[in-house]
Amino acid sequence: MAMSVGGDSTEEKPMSDINTTPLVDVMLVLLIIFLIAIPVVVQSVEVELPEVLFEPTTTKPENVSLSIRGNASGCEVFWGMTQVGAGELLERGVTKLKADIERQGGIGNPNLELPEVHIRGDVNTPYRCIGGTIYTMQSAGYAKVGFISEPAPGSTVTKRL
């Protein structure tokens, strides 16, 4: 900062103007540095995300339909319309899977179609409730676990061939 004292005037009053040129120069240099540095720091990996198509599910009678509600205090799992606990869920899952395998002729059947688990989870359900249910059903022997969701409003329903 510089301060000049008036030259030709009869009054000796100091000028209080600040020379802002160095300040502007420094700000422009910083702007250029940030414009160059930001693309170097922000790195992104090219990922090809899958297209989301809503496919209507075909519900087979042998599939297991579970509904899950939960809050901070606990989880509620419903097998059909009956509320079940974790132990009963595992027991029912194993029993149903064994019965479906035996009905189709046993494990030796080359055309064996295992049932699926379809989970409907409430939006406000904590992940631990849904994750625990998935783990329990996989422990019971179910290989396919899917989620039933509602398509976004205005989206079209298409089926892949």
* 141 Cβ contact partners less than 8 Å away, ≥ 6 residues apart: 93, 94, 97
Q: Which domain holds residue 102?
A: 64-147
**Tally of domains within the chain:** 1
Q: How far is CA 107 from the centre of its chain?
A: 36
* 91 Cβ contact partners less than 8 Å away, ≥ 6 residues apart: none
* Token pair recorded at residue 101: 């395998």
pTM for this one?
Answer: 0.59
Calculate the average pLDDT of the chain: 81
Q: Write the pLDDT tens digit of every residue in 42-100.
A: 666 666 666 656 666 677 888 899 999 887 788 899 998 889 998 999 999 999 999 99
CATH of the domain at 136: 3.30.420.270
The verdict on residue 122 lying in a domain is yes
The verdict on residue 40 lying in a domain is no
